[in-house]
Structure 1
Amino acid sequence: ALSEKLATIINDTSIKTVIVAAALAEPALQESQFSLNELIRQGERLAPLDAHQASRDDIAVLQYTGGTTGVAKAAMLSHGNILANAEQMNERFDNILTPGQETGICPLPLYHIYAFTVNMVSLFAMGQFNVLIPNPRDLDALVKQIEPFDINYFSGINTLFIGLCMHPRFKALNFSNLKMTVSGGAALTHAAADAWMNTTGCTITEGYGLSETSPVVTLNDFQNEEIGSIGRPLSNTTVEIWDENDEPVADGESGEIVVKGPQVMMGYWLRQEETDKCMKRGFFKTGDVGLKLPSGNYKIVDRLKDMIIVSGFNVYPNEVENILCLHPAICEAAVIGAKDEKTGERVCAYITLKEQVDEQQVSDYCRENLSAYKVPKSIIFMEQLPKSTVGKILRRELREQ
């Protein structure tokens, strides 16, 4: 338990009191530790509290951002933000799911905004049955937990789809009634979408959102997905693409994605300066680069902060990662920029493998499929890539190595 790990280092800190929370049973306490449940019971006896009459405009949660590109910030999401996004999602779910009749797998923690709104609020509000997976990194246990159920929908992210499609017991499951698979949290690669289709017979429907937008902004149309796009905006949601002067660009041109809608946060908790930076004319500036496709769907190019500039040319890691993951020997890839005396920055690729391949073979493959300035100048093989608790690849940790 984390409390036991803390006990080994607490004497080296200034922490005097620790409150331990345990969902299922009273925790075993170390010195200077107190049970949250017991403290709540004591508080109820000493000072009973009247129930608060919440309104839609009250803060419901302080949802911390993932911190994949910088310091995490707390997005203030109101009850109205979350309820609006649940209503928006259920408008789309109504087209494919029968209320109260479906069973789905939720392998993401409910403290993550994706599972919180999509599974715990939206799908649960439809009367659907969510199977919660305690540890999605343990694929053997995950598959064992799925086996008893006839699943109709699945919520996941790119890295999880790849891992499951390589698992022999998962591939042996019956997917005849799987009608919906939703992807978010990270860019969906063609390799993952193809592998999932070949394994389950189900398409993956990619959406896009952020902690600051409760989270869903856009979603592909179920069973009519445009792979490589994030779909079209949800109802009552306006998406625009702005240039560096905060002005809209022409359709098809890339720029920063900005969002206006009832799901957009109230601001960052105790960070007015950060709030002012990202809110303009009622729009939230996402920090993501994207463009509008001829189909009317939108496409993510990459995070502004992750863009690599090589000799004045923009290189977006997502594009290089997607090409790398199409190589039959490559399992996962993460691309970052590093300082270079000649070109300003150079492209560095970190990859994990399904089967043996050498650096020269990967480099040759990249030269066949990418412009010369986009080809990684260094290729590092790793047993596994650093990831967040929800399985999102952490480029920031690679930059810090």
Structure 2
Amino acid sequence: MLFVNDQYYTLDDLERQYSVFENIPYLRNCQNRRLAVCMPDAFQWLALCLFVRKKGGSIVPIHPSVPKDGAIRMANLAGSHVLLFENIYSPIHLSDQINPREGVLVQMSSGTTGAPKCIERTWDSIETELESYVSVLPVEQHTTSIVACPVTHSYGLICGVFACIRRGAEPVILTNMNPKYVLKKLKDHPKHILYGSPALLHTLTSLNRGDKRFDAVMTSGTLMPSGWLEALKKVSNRVLQQYGCSEAGCVAIHPDVNDTCEMGNPLPHLKVEAGSMEQPGEIIIHDSEKTIYTKDLGYIKNGVLSFLARMDDTINVAGLNVYPQEVEDVLMAEPRILEAVVYKKVHPLSGERVCAQYISSQPIEEQELREWCRDYLAPYQVPMEFIQVEKIEKLPNGKISRKRLGEGVLA
């Protein structure tokens, strides 16, 4: 049925887990209950998720690295009745109030602000997404999905695990994220599609030696720098990219990406609106239940959706828009720069300004960076401030909050 690292689990193992759950009253009668789950055993978590889904209950996945007090806080925020922390035998009772809307998957989304937000999706809407996703995913039916990202998030859970099972293939779920171990698992399963973050894929690319090639690679979550994509394509048979949001799941898939901004064609069950290349606009998603305003800026050309930036991250310099990714790509093309992030600071009189933090292999004079940028960017795109750091601050979900980086007033 599936692997977790090197351990193989069969359908019989799943049925045995179901029997255990049936003997626990609060799990057996979970139809009108909302269960928050924070446990390190990935197979037990997935079995529980499938069981609760089958029963019509609701589940709130919490990453197993979250400490107990943090898990309780998140579970309460999501309106959970019970928190299962580390195991199923010592439930933490939280509430007896019956929620009007159950039979949902609850995702905790922080976006770029860091403020937690609960997103509820019905199991029926997830079924629709899965059917649509599998119908357009350009891989052979029995291709192994190697899921090297959290299965408590919709990217790993729905697109990585559930979609693979729906195709009739056996997913490989990795909780051991040592890059050398991930490379070994790719070698063990040569016909694969690897689900990972841009940072992990870049690390794997850097460690890849000789003529070994990745089969298919899926990236998502944040835009991959152009230099990273170029290097990844050299060692991969195909690089795919998907775009989505917590409210809708996967929205679009690009089958063979060459431009990091191109997210591909929207899935068949969705209608997507955006601006034009000349005048980008907010990406708006329509499904059968609702309209979702993403606060992402993009455009559609020849049916292909492109994403430029979060609307809040776009920098308005004297009426001209600066998209952080464009500036980051230029900075990271400088051979000594290993990672860069571009964000805005606000001057009380003159408005928004472009700023950058970067990690480099050796010191770089600010004037050198400024001249490098001037060779490739318009004057209004060149950062006013360059800060060399040892580490770029990230949120717990691995994303960068440009808002946090830019807090404060530019002197």
TM-score band by shorter chain is: 0.7 to 0.9
Pick the aligned partner of 2:227 from 187, 191, 204: 191
Q: CA shift at 1:238, angstroms?
A: 0.8
Pick the aligned partner of 1:359 from 366, 369, 385: 366
Whether 2:321 is the aligned partner of 1:287: answer no
String of CA shifts for 1:208-264, please: whole Å, max 9, x gaps: 100111x111111x24755431111110211112xxxxxxx56742111100124xx
Pick the aligned partner of 2:320 from 313, 317, 330: 313
Label 1:384 to 1:129 Cα distance change in 2 as closer, same or farther (>3 A).
Answer: farther
Provide the residue aligned with 1:96 in structure 2: 139
Provide the residue aligned with 1:394 in structure 2: 401
Label 1:85 to 1:225 Cα distance change in 2 as closer, same or farther (>3 A).
Answer: farther
Provide the residue aligned with 2:147 in structure 1: 106
String of CA shifts for 1:122-164, please: whole Å, max 9, x gaps: 112212232222253x434444554544352111222222222
Question: Could you say which structure has the higher strand fraction?
Answer: 2
Provide the residue aligned with 2:237 in structure 1: 202
How far apart are the structure 1 equivalents of 2:210 and 2:328?
A: 29
Aligned 8 A contact 2:286 2:292 in 1: yes
Unpaired segments ≥5 residues, structure 1: 1-18, 44-56, 242-248, 267-281
How far apart are the structure 2 equivalents of 1:209 and 1:397?
A: 23
Note the 1:64-103 alignment, pairs <5 A.
64-93=108-137, 95-99=138-142, 102-103=143-144
How far apart are the structure 1 equivalents of 2:397 and 2:37?
A: 22
Q: Give the SS at the match of 2:335.
A: coil
Q: CA shift at 1:58, angstroms?
A: 5.1
Letter of the 1:193 partner, please give it: L
Whether 2:265 is the aligned partner of 1:239: answer no
Note the 1:1-400 alignment, pairs <5 A.
22-24=39-41, 36-39=87-90, 59-93=103-137, 95-99=138-142, 102-136=143-177, 138-167=178-207, 170-172=208-210, 174-175=212-213, 178-198=214-234, 200-213=235-248, 215-220=249-254, 222-223=255-256, 227-241=260-274, 252-262=278-288, 282-293=290-301, 295-354=302-361, 357-400=364-407
Aligned 8 A contact 1:386 1:397 in 2: no
Q: Give the SS at the match of 2:262.
A: coil
Q: Give the SS at the match of 1:302.
A: strand
How far apart are the structure 2 equivalents of 1:342 and 1:171?
A: 52
Aligned 8 A contact 1:104 1:152 in 2: yes
Label 1:252 to 1:203 Cα distance change in 2 as closer, same or farther (>3 A).
Answer: farther
Q: Give the SS at the match of 2:160.
A: helix
Q: CA shift at 1:86, angstroms?
A: 1.0
Aligned 8 A contact 2:225 2:332 in 1: yes
How far apart are the structure 2 equivalents of 1:368 and 1:259?
A: 38
How far apart are the structure 1 equivalents of 2:276 and 2:317?
A: 25
How far apart are the structure 2 equivalents of 1:148 and 1:96?
A: 18
Aligned 8 A contact 1:158 1:187 in 2: yes
How far apart are the structure 1 equivalents of 2:300 and 2:166?
A: 32
String of CA shifts for 1:4-58, please: whole Å, max 9, x gaps: xxxxxxxxxxxxxxx9954449x9xx9xx98742235x99xxxxxxxxxxxxx95
TM-score by length of 2: 0.71
Provide the residue aligned with 2:60 in structure 1: none
Letter of the 1:202 partner, please give it: N
Label 1:330 to 1:252 Cα distance change in 2 as closer, same or farther (>3 A).
Answer: same
Aligned 8 A contact 1:96 1:179 in 2: no
Letter of the 2:122 partner, please give it: S
Aligned 8 A contact 1:162 1:331 in 2: no
Label 1:146 to 1:212 Cα distance change in 2 as closer, same or farther (>3 A).
Answer: same
Q: Give the SS at the match of 1:212.
A: coil
How far apart are the structure 1 equivalents of 2:277 and 2:37?
A: 52
How far apart are the structure 2 equivalents of 1:78 and 1:316?
A: 34
Q: Give the SS at the match of 1:83.
A: helix
Aligned 8 A contact 1:205 1:225 in 2: no
How far apart are the structure 2 equivalents of 1:116 and 1:20?
A: 14
Label 1:152 to 1:144 Cα distance change in 2 as closer, same or farther (>3 A).
Answer: closer
Unpaired segments ≥5 residues, structure 2: 1-35, 45-63, 69-83, 94-100
String of CA shifts for 1:316-356, please: whole Å, max 9, x gaps: 21221222223332222111111224531211111122555
Aligned 8 A contact 2:340 2:356 in 1: yes
Q: CA shift at 1:400, angstroms?
A: 4.7
How far apart are the structure 2 equivalents of 1:35 and 1:146?
A: 29
Q: CA shift at 1:113, angstroms?
A: 1.4
String of CA shifts for 1:65-111, please: whole Å, max 9, x gaps: 13422412111100112111111110112x42233xx2232111011
Q: Give the SS at the match of 1:364.
A: helix
Provide the residue aligned with 1:246 in structure 2: none
How far apart are the structure 2 equivalents of 1:151 and 1:356?
A: 42
Q: CA RMSD in A?
A: 3.1
Aligned residues: 328
